[in-house]
Amino acid sequence: MAAPAPNLTYERIPEEDLRTGVNAERRRGRGAVTNPDGRFEPYTRSLEDDGWESLADLPPFKTEVSFEAARKIITRNSSPDISFDRSINPYRGCEHGCVYCFARPTHSYLGLSPGLDFESKLTAKPNAAELLAKELADPNYSVRTMALGTNTDPYQPIEREYRITRSILEVLAKTRHPVGIVTKSALIQRDIDILAPMAADGLARVAISITTLDRDLARKLEPRAPTPAKRLETVKALADAGIPVTVMMAPIIPALNDEEIERLLDSAKAAGARNAGYVLLRLPYEIKDLFHEWLLEHRPERAAHVMSLVKSTRNGKAYEAEWGKRMIGDGVYAWTIGRRFDLACTRLELNEERVSLRKDLFAPPPRPGEQLRLL
């Protein structure tokens, strides 16, 4: 890892942020430092103490779950630099609270903040499985791998109660539809009873996201996600059940966790991972400010250095969304990260065999009024 630049000047975010009034006690256990208005809001709101210290009486941010009666559940995309063209997101927002999450700006479309709202005001789609069965029954449906976990984590803590992801897997298993899952949660072990038989038929694979092996750093970056050790345990449990596992080091953050590339891959291989991938830190829209605030709060001595290196991988900007480069960046520093990652994978014999899921086993559910097949 590159050493912090010498003679950096920095300042720590004050205990009471003047724009939002979110003090440390109110946001305990959360990732974002502030709760700024979304970019589509016509007004910017701020909390000001009225002289009676009333801000101290505001309640902490607690998880609130609302319900969405979705009309469609399969989301399509045509992005040329990702490996799937369809996905399902059972939830909006994510309680894991990962400060770097590239999905945070989507909360702005709901009139909510990409900051603390994103990790505390969640939306669940309880009719997801019903909609999925209906959409898979469409005679024009063409099979390709269904992705889960592309926007927010399908196994975030509220899944333990609502079980929407499990209900989706039950539909996919019954119709023998291929599925790829990305998660950082150990809760996926609950569904090994569904995933293992699917994997045996070439219908399932899982990617476990591990950002760092440092417990302290993980707690600050991803405050409500499982510990790194628990995620490695999950890799082993899945692999032992015969489920192909990829470990994703996502994101790699210059001068923060990039020194761990080789060590993390060593641990992933030892746990049973077959493949590995990475994503360079992405800071679109509001995330650049949220992440910078997080740096000033938790790593103030290297905040300027981290942001400088990030910009060196994005042509001098905090983020560049060009297809083909948005996941891996550009420039010498980005190339070095990619080269180190590739060399470590070669040494460990990772990525030698890509897992292709079967499409020929798909058995669509019957359409309304259609007679069930005897055989």
Range with lowest mean pLDDT among 46-55, 113-122, 226-235 = 46-55
Domain for residue 288, yes or no?
yes
Domain for residue 93, yes or no?
no
The two beta strands, 146-148 and 121-124, are unpaired
Range with lowest mean pLDDT among 13-22, 59-68, 261-270 = 13-22
Q: Distance (Å, rounded) from C-alpha 27 to C-alpha 23?
A: 7
- Mean pLDDT value of segment 230-253: 98
Q: Tell me: pLDDT of 332 over 50.
A: yes
Q: Distance (Å, rounded) from C-alpha 266 to C-alpha 249?
A: 12
Range with lowest mean pLDDT among 30-39, 115-124, 179-188 = 30-39
Q: Distance (Å, rounded) from C-alpha 316 to C-alpha 303?
A: 16
Range with lowest mean pLDDT among 50-54, 133-137, 200-204, 269-273 = 50-54
Domain for residue 181, yes or no?
no
Domain for residue 339, yes or no?
yes
Residue the block writes with tokens 């829209």: 285
pLDDT of residue 10: 39
How do residues 93-139 score in pLDDT, each as one tens digit?
A: 999 999 999 999 999 999 999 999 999 999 999 999 999 999 999 99
Domain for residue 293, yes or no?
yes
* Other CB atoms within 10 A of residue 200 CB: 12
Q: Tell me: pLDDT of 53 over 80.
A: no
Q: Tell me: pLDDT of 28 over 70.
A: yes
Residue 146 has φ and ψ, to the nearest 5°, of: -90, 130
Triad 251, 253, 257: Cα angle to 5°: 100
Domain for residue 286, yes or no?
yes
- Mean pLDDT value of segment 40-51: 77
Q: Tell me: pLDDT of 265 over 50.
A: yes
**pLDDT band at 16; cut points 50, 70, 90:** very low
pLDDT of residue 19: 43
Q: Tell me: pLDDT of 36 over 80.
A: yes
* Other CB atoms within 10 A of residue 84 CB: 16
* Other CB atoms within 10 A of residue 6 CB: 6
Q: Distance (Å, rounded) from C-alpha 284 to C-alpha 66?
A: 26
Q: What is the average pLDDT value for the chain, to the nearest integer?
A: 91
- Mean pLDDT value of segment 311-316: 96
Number of domain units in the chain:
1
Q: Which domain holds residue 326?
A: 240-352
Q: Distance (Å, rounded) from C-alpha 357 to C-alpha 37?
A: 42
Share of the chain above pLDDT 70, in %: 90
Domain for residue 148, yes or no?
no
Q: Distance (Å, rounded) from C-alpha 251 to C-alpha 276?
A: 13
Q: Tell me: pLDDT of 276 over 70.
A: yes
First to last CA, the chain: 60
pLDDT of residue 108: 95
* Other CB atoms within 10 A of residue 120 CB: 23
**pLDDT band at 80; cut points 50, 70, 90:** confident
Domain for residue 2, yes or no?
no
Q: Which burial class, exposed, middle or buried, applies to 320 when counting CB atoms under 10 A from its CB (0-12, 13-18, 19+)?
A: middle
Q: Distance (Å, rounded) from C-alpha 236 to C-alpha 158?
A: 24
pLDDT of residue 371: 59
Triad 31, 228, 185: Cα angle to 5°: 70
- Mean pLDDT value of segment 143-172: 97
